[in-house]
Amino acid sequence: MRITPDNRAPASSPVLVVEHLSASVAGQQVVEDVSFTVPATGITAVLGRNGVGKTSTLKGLMGLYRRSGAVTLAGERIDALPTHKVVQRGVGYVPEDREVFARLTVAENLRLAERAGSATPERRELVKRLFPDLVQRRHQMAGTLSGGQQQMVALARVLLNDNRVLLVDEPTKGLAPLIVEQVAEALREASVTVPILLVEQNLEVVRHLAGEAVVIAGGRVVHTGSATELLSDESLTRRLLGVHTDTDREVHP
Amino acid sequence: MSTVVLLLATGLGLGALYFLVASGLSLIYGLMHVLNFAHGSFLTLGAFLGWAAAQRLDATSWTGFVASILVGALVGAVVAALTELLLIRPLYERHIEQVLVTVGLSLATVALFEGIWGTDPDFIRGPAWMDRTTGVLGARIPNDRFVIIGIAVLVLVAIVVFLRKTRYGMVIRAGVENRAMVTALGIDVRRSFTLVFAIGGAAAGLGGVLAAHYFGYVSPSLGGSLLIFAFIVTVIGGLGSLTGAAIASVLVALLQQFANYYAGGTGDFVIVLALAGVLLVRPSGLLGKAA
């Protein structure tokens, strides 16, 4: 069964509130003034053309880039915390390009990710069930895995822990269609228990997964609302994202 | 033949000393991107205090020798950890300032050591067996070479086991690859900074005691003279690679010994040529990560 916006529980208070976030790297401002909220359930997509600052927004939230503004996680301000404390508060991060440790085995990558008192046997079971490949390849160096398998390691690292929210950056980038489906399915299953903020270029994946959408342009939020409504409005989609959607093609075959 | 064997043994002994210094340099650079110019001072202090401990017990006894090794390693570890905590950490992520502070520390400590122990070399003694030689294929090999090589191999094995089998070792290996991602897993990577400084300092301090036996004396300039070659070893081996440091230590020391003997004392010059050659052909070193 797919979770669609229609059968999703109504959002209670948001898990993550971002107010006037700006971020800079090497003295250059990469996020100007971004405000949005992440509902306590489901998947919220962050959309926008290439280079508008989606990845930088996530890195700013994680404290990987120098940031200012207010970020509130379940009522607690986390914008002054160093990255490792942000994570310890329950923010799981899946970076763009996976960033697995190439010279560590799969098992070591996963062991490293397990946080004390957070990783439970049930979560290990979930990861084994979602990614049986990783169990087989546990002694393999992560650098020798395919892109799809590395993505599974990256997702497993956050699913092993009890997180309040997951920030997932382009998990399907560069993957074969079959693997994209598997990754999307893992995200959908994960989203049943933990809200996800998802940066994703593959609009088909967004359409299947996301309830809410936040569109960024020029370092600012230019649109928020239902993902389905946004993606079914072809002129809005074209204007905000600069792409033709499938609906487009159906209308003009 | 006996000359070649002697040169091999002497070269391996020297290589062992280079490795004890270079292993720490390489780990510290790999994880923190800091070239630690104060590393020679950890070595010198380890040598002086190790020698002091040996004298207090009985410099010619094995007890005195073992005590000097332990004291040297401990002093190196403690001083290195304090250096990281008090001088390096406040300059977090400011690599140039961090390097400058280690340069300053090395200059200041050499002056301090000269003030305390004088500028002249202080000749040392060890257990009588270490002063004798053993015949190997017709060559008379000084016994201290075997001890030095043996201990360096033990240190290499210990560091490798630590890196492979412990969680801290795993954090360090991951941090050498991608430090930001380690923090993004909720791990305070700065704790491992202190740890690599302590490990590198222990190896250097221990190396100081062994270097004193190799050369027969301790002096305030002991660390500085070894540090230069250890830097060359680290670069040739590939910054951040422990195995690279081990291999390059042996290669550099052997090349140096053979060139000194067969090419009219040009060992140091040949090493610098080798460094230039490696940098031209493989800029990231023998086993370094591709830049």
Least Cα distance to B198 among B110, B33, B82 occurs for B82
Q: What is the dihedral of CA B251, B252, B255, B261, to 10 degrees?
A: -130
Alpha carbons B101 and B103: distance in angstroms, whole number: 5
Q: How confident is the model at residue A6 (pLDDT cuts 50, 70, 90)?
A: very low
Residues 103..132 of A with a Cβ closer than 8 Å to B: which? 103-104, 108, 111-113, 115
Alpha carbons B50 and B72: distance in angstroms, whole number: 5
Least Cα distance to B201 among B18, B15, B101, B73 occurs for B73
Partner-chain contact B185 A99, CB within 8 Å: no
Cα→Cα distances B65→A34, B58, B127, Å? 65, 8, 7
Any CB–CB contact under 8 A between A95 and chain B? yes
Residue A244: what pLDDT? 55
The answer to whether residue A159 sits within a structural domain is yes
The answer to whether residue A73 sits within a structural domain is yes
Inter-axis angle of helices B167-177 and B190-215, to 10 degrees?
100
Alpha carbons B156 and B178: distance in angstroms, whole number: 23
Least Cα distance to B37 among B70, B94, B83, B85 occurs for B83
Whether the predicted pLDDT of B129 surpasses 80: yes
Alpha carbons A93 and A167: distance in angstroms, whole number: 5
Partner-chain contact A84 B186, CB within 8 Å: yes
Which pLDDT tens digit goes with each residue over A90-134? 999 999 999 999 999 999 999 999 998 887 888 999 999 999 999
Q: Report pTM.
A: 0.87
Least Cα distance to A95 among B182, B239, B105, B16 occurs for B182
The answer to whether residue A231 sits within a structural domain is yes
Residue A26: what pLDDT? 85
pLDDT above 70 coverage of chain A, percent: 91
Query: Mutating which of A55, A62, A64, A84 best tests the B interface, going by the most B Cβ atoms within 10 A?
Result: A84
Can you give the C-alpha Rg of chain A in angstroms? 18
Query: Mutating which of B167, B183, B192 best tests the A interface, going by the most A Cβ atoms within 10 A?
Result: B183
Whether the predicted pLDDT of A11 surpasses 70: no
Residue A245: what pLDDT? 53
**DSSP class per residue in B224-277:** HHHHHHHHHHHHHH-TT-HHHHHHHHHHHHHHHHHHHHHTTS-HHHHHHHHHHH
8-state DSSP, B88: I
Least Cα distance to A241 among A52, A49, A92, A61 occurs for A49
Residues of B with Cβ-Cβ distance to A88 under 8 angstroms: 186
Q: Which domain holds residue A247?
A: 14-251
Identify the closest residue of chain A to B171 by CA–CA distance: A112
Whether the predicted pLDDT of B88 surpasses 80: yes
The answer to whether residue A241 sits within a structural domain is yes
Least Cα distance to B8 among B194, B149, B206, B118 occurs for B149
Helices (H), A20-146: 54-62, 83-88, 106-113, 121-130, 132-136
pLDDT above 90 coverage of chain A, percent: 74
8-state DSSP, A210: E
Place of tokens 């305070």: B188
Whether the predicted pLDDT of B239 surpasses 90: no
Any CB–CB contact under 8 A between B165 and chain A? no
The answer to whether residue A37 sits within a structural domain is yes
Partner-chain contact B185 A113, CB within 8 Å: yes
Query: Mutating which of B179, B181, B188 best tests the A interface, going by the most A Cβ atoms within 10 A?
Result: B181
Q: Which two tokens stand for residue A28?
A: 């250059």
Q: Give the number of domains in chain A.
A: 1
Residue type, B238: G
Place of tokens 């017990």: B57
Residues of A with Cβ-Cβ distance to B173 under 8 angstroms: 101, 103-104
End-to-end C-alpha distance for chain A, whole angstroms: 30
Average pLDDT over chain B, rounded to an integer: 93
Q: How confident is the model at residue B68 (pLDDT cuts 50, 70, 90)?
A: very high
Identify the closest residue of chain A to B180 by CA–CA distance: A64
What value does the mean pLDDT take over residues B140-157? 95
Whether the predicted pLDDT of A240 surpasses 70: yes
Whether the predicted pLDDT of A235 surpasses 90: no
CATH number at residue A149: 3.40.50.300
A212 Cα to chain B: minimum distance (Å): 25
Inter-axis angle of helices B2-32 and B39-57, to 10 degrees?
120
Beta-strand pair A196-199/A165-169:
parallel
Q: Which two tokens stand for residue A78?
A: 């986390």
A159 contacts A190 by C-beta, under 8 angstroms: yes
Helices (H), chain B: 2-32, 39-57, 62-83, 95-117, 128-131, 143-165, 167-177, 179-183, 190-215, 222-237, 242-262, 267-281
Alpha carbons B43 and B205: distance in angstroms, whole number: 4
Inter-axis angle of helices B190-215 and B222-237, to 10 degrees?
120
Identify the closest residue of chain B to A63 by CA–CA distance: B184
Any CB–CB contact under 8 A between B170 and chain A? yes
Average pLDDT over chain A, rounded to an integer: 89
What value does the mean pLDDT take over residues B233-254? 93
Q: How many C-beta atoms lie closer than 10 Å to residue A204's C-beta?
A: 16
Torsion sign, CA atoms B133, B134, B136, B139: positive
Least Cα distance to A197 among A229, A221, A233 occurs for A221
Residue A8: what pLDDT? 43
The answer to whether residue A7 sits within a structural domain is no
Query: Mutating which of B92, B173, B178, B185 best tests the A interface, going by the most A Cβ atoms within 10 A?
Result: B185
What value does the mean pLDDT take over residues A33-50? 94
- H/E element, A236: helix A234-241
Whether the predicted pLDDT of A160 surpasses 50: yes
Contacts of A116 (CB under 8 A, 6+ apart): none
Q: How many C-beta atoms lie closer than 10 Å to residue B235's C-beta?
A: 25
Partner-chain contact B188 A84, CB within 8 Å: yes
Least Cα distance to A163 among A35, A55, A15 occurs for A15
Question: Residues A26-32: contacts with CB within 8 Å, 24+ apart?
Answer: A29/A219, A30/A56, A30/A60, A30/A65, A30/A219, A31/A56, A31/A57, A31/A60, A31/A65, A31/A67, A31/A219, A32/A218, A32/A219, A32/A220
Residue B290: what pLDDT? 54
What value does the mean pLDDT take over residues B176-201? 94
The answer to whether residue A5 sits within a structural domain is no
Residues of A with Cβ-Cβ distance to B180 under 8 angstroms: 64, 83
What value does the mean pLDDT take over residues B218-241? 93
The answer to whether residue A8 sits within a structural domain is no
A160 contacts A124 by C-beta, under 8 angstroms: yes
Is B33 exposed, middle or buried, given 0-12, 13-18 or 19+ CB atoms closer than 10 A?
middle
